[in-house]
Amino acid sequence: MPTRQERLAQLLDRKVIAVIRMTDTDRLMDVIAAIQKGGVEWIEITMVVPDAIDVLKEVSQRGGSAVIGAGTILDPETARLAILAGAEFIVSPILNLEVIKLAHRYDRLAIPGAFTPTEILTAWEAGADVVKVFPATALGPAFIKDVQGPLPQVKLCPTGGVTVENAGEFIAAGAACVGVGTDLLDKAAIAEGRYELLTRRAEQLVANTRQT
């Protein structure tokens, strides 16, 4: 398995994390294959889905070359369970310093959530590999640019409100990567098995983040 620093370099190159909330693992594997075909390889399985750890374990075993991580991690106990189930990175909507320590103990990327400049710097100084700016819905790309002014050393990953269309604007504003969920994973397309639509959305997303 790659080291934490090697994984970080990969993430900074790929720039996109797909945030997935699904329980049907067979359909989930088809979704992962579709967006991978479009160039999105980093997959976050959130802990809000029923039996999330079991889902994470199965996806980690069947995910092939996809980089599978766990999201909505609120405490170190859940982080450890997720890592033992195969998570290669840990994402949280909030800042819990013990989660960062636990992730690093297992040589996994820690991506804690923060909203204010104070929280962002606190997370960074606690060792966060990337800081998730959440929810980015109410903030927009201008906030990322403003924060990067006095804190250029901090790697930011806006999530929530990031779309296929505006992802490139966040990257241009200084974001190191973005987290994209609903806008990438069209529910109707998934329900109808039209996975080629997901591939096209993924291709567009990747292209937009590389136009900066």
- Domain ranges across the chain: 4-209
184-209 pLDDT per residue, tens: 999 899 999 999 999 999 999 999 99
pLDDT of residue 205: 98
Other C-beta atoms closer than 10 Å to the C-beta of 196 total 12
Q: How far apart are CA 64 and CA 181, in angstroms?
A: 21
| Residue type present at position 204 | Q
Q: Does 54 score more than 80 pLDDT? A: yes
Question: What's the predicted TM-score (pTM) here?
Answer: 0.96
Among residues 57, 58, 88, 132, the one annotated as catalytic is 132
Three-class DSSP category at 93: coil
What pLDDT does 1 receive? 85
pLDDT number for residue 167: 98
Burial of 204 (0-12, 13-18, 19+ CB in 10 A): middle
**What is 4-209's CATH topology?**
TIM Barrel (3.20.20)
Concerning whether 132 is annotated as a catalytic residue, the answer is yes
Tell me what the mean pLDDT of segment 102-122 comes to. Answer: 98
For CA atoms 177, 166, 181, 126, give the dihedral sign. positive
**Pick the catalytic residue: 41, 44, 58, 88?**
44
Residue in the structure block whose two tokens are 């294959």 = 33
Q: Examine the pLDDT at 66 and tell me if it is beyond 90.
A: yes
Residues 12 and 177 sit within 8 Å (Cβ to Cβ)? yes
Distances (CA, A) of 189 to 52, 101, 192: 23, 39, 5
* DSSP 8-state symbol, 89: E
